[in-house]
Amino acid sequence: MKSGSAQRILRYIPCVVVGCALPAGGFAAEFTTSAAVAPGVTYTDNVCLSKDNKQDAWVGTVTPSGSIKGEGNKADFNINGSVQFNTLTDSQLKDNDCGGGSLGNRSQFSPNITAKGSAILIDDWLKLNASGRANQNEVTPFVGGGGDSFDTNGNTNTYYRYSLTPVLSRRLKNFATYNLRYNYNEVINTADSVSNSSSDSWSTNLESGRSSRISWDLFGNYRKVSYDDNDLFFEENGTAVPREDSELKSAGVNLGYQIDRRWQVNGSYGWEWNDFQTYNDQDTNGRTWDLGVKWTPTPRTRVSVGMGDRFFGSTPRFSISHTHKRNVFSASYKKSITFGRDLLTEGNDFNQNIRNFSSQNTQSPIIDERFTVGYTYAGRRARINFIGSHSNQTQEDNGEKSTYDDVALTFSPLISRTYTMSATVSWRQDEPRSIFGQNNTQLANNSEAWTTSLTVGRALNERMSISLNYRYTDQQSDNDFSEYQENRIMATLNIRL
């Protein structure tokens, strides 16, 4: 772990918990708790995750988990998650001649914890939201083993993210509502090659009431993203200069007209003033506009399509969601500006089998063009979940392009009250990068990974159950150090305390 990171984690993460818990306690909150522990053992036939140096190993694990939920008249919070500890040491990997990443940075634990809370500080006026998250992601998507809880290739980064958001909201009679929101969030990373970062943002808007068919919203946004250790930015002529903080600013108006219960026409017009470094001195300011239509044929179906333009080009968009009895379908497409720190740490509610969207740990703003689709079926005899994501990402500081594809299908038949079963097939592909519009074969690393997993469980009694999981991973790559095949068997005893 980085020098000083442990102290920062201990100092900041409790702020989220305390900030949520104290108001709840002050308003006579009711608490609900749960706890469990899961000892287990894992066998792998390729602990080095290597193409040529396949070494088997046994790894012991123990995973305590739990949750605490508090609800009061004016505050609530919810903390839940787990931490897995394993017995795989650096000395074991060195004895097996594993030549992965920087083994000295490895951790023998893997957290997966989320915390959320809110408190009404002043009735009908001021509210405080807080959240926290501890999880893992890849140091780089172009090396195998990233995000694996055993971190045998040294390509896993443990991150801690917290966010504080006070919101001021005031209704101006029946005419409009005024909102002022401030957000501060920080990401603390354990990998030495990944810089810690923080984000300050302000947003304000004055929106109309809902009684009229015509709706309007005057808005303004500001965001600044800073890094503890700024890297060097290379200008188009090759000159290296210190990187500056990135600032995104915009203002404008949203308009909507509700034609009838099913149809709405909407649009926006405004201006943005952005300040960040680009390799070709691209103009990052200019007008923005969007025009679209929303169709709601039934309360269970919503369709929205639109077209717009920003400084980085056209911004088409669409989204569709449909719910019918036991089926849920959703799909969306959009093109937006974001940061790698957000893609890698905000979590991924859309795709539960992938902890975070893929990206690079770059300090540059990223243009993310993304298509997502999901389908869930919850029947009496089985449950089916399908998810997919396709993302084209362009770094604004050097024009570097990357493409990430993720697909996963999970099938869970309902066998009996005693036995459970679940099978998952997933596919992931990272396309080569290109710099300044030219293919760079030295940096390019087209990798493709197939993973199949089968889990069988049996309930022993009301508090104990056992599970056996088999997983096979086959990753192909342009570079040998990113290519491997692995069989992994995991046996776990789950105990509710």
Q: What is the pLDDT of residues 119-136, one digit of tens each?
A: 999 988 999 999 999 998
Q: Are strands 240-242 and 286-298 parallel, antiparallel or unpaired?
A: unpaired
User: Of residues 147 and 164, which shows the higher confidence score?
Assistant: 164
Lowest mean pLDDT segment, chosen from 158-172, 204-218, 325-339, 481-495: 204-218
What pLDDT, in 10s, does the model give residues 44-56?
A: 999 988 888 899 9
For residues 445 and 308, give the distance between their C-alpha atoms in angstroms, rounded to a whole number: 34
Most confidently predicted of 9-18, 204-213, 351-360, 420-429: 420-429
Q: What is the DSSP secondary-structure string of 368-381?
A: EEEEEEEEEEE-SS
Chain centre to alpha carbon of residue 460: 35
User: Of residues 283 and 242, which shows the higher confidence score?
Assistant: 283
- Answer whether 389's CB lies under 8 Å from 350's CB: yes
Report pTM: 0.88
Amino acid at 143: V
Cβ-in-10-Å burial (0-12, 13-18, 19+) of 298 comes to exposed
Place of tokens 């500080």: 121
- Answer whether 306's CB lies under 8 Å from 255's CB: no
Lowest mean pLDDT segment, chosen from 185-189, 377-381, 479-483: 479-483
For residues 352 and 340, give the distance between their C-alpha atoms in angstroms, rounded to a whole number: 19
- Say which residues have a Cβ less than 8 Å from residue 392's Cβ, sequence separation at least 6: 368, 369, 370, 401, 402, 403
> What pLDDT does residue 1 have?
53
> What pLDDT does residue 12 have?
47
Three-class DSSP category at 17:
helix
Q: How many helices (H) and strands (E) does the chain have?
A: 3, 27
The strand pairing partners of 172, in sequence order, are 176
With a cut of 60, say whether residue 20 has pLDDT above it. Answer: no
Q: Is the dihedral of CA 283, 289, 295, 296 positive or negative?
A: positive
For residues 191 and 260, give the distance between their C-alpha atoms in angstroms, rounded to a whole number: 54
The separation between the first and the last C-alpha atoms of the chain, rounded to the nearest angstrom, is 32
> What pLDDT does residue 104 have?
53
Helix (H) or strand (E) holding 357, with range, is none
Instruction: Assign 24 a pLDDT band (cuts: 50, 70, 90).
Output: very low
| Mean per-residue pLDDT over the chain, rounded | 86
Mean pLDDT of 156-182: 92
What pLDDT, in 10s, does the model give residues 314-334?
A: 999 999 999 998 999 999 999
What pLDDT, in 10s, does the model give residues 453-482?
A: 999 999 999 999 999 999 999 998 887 777
With a cut of 50, say whether residue 11 has pLDDT above it. Answer: no
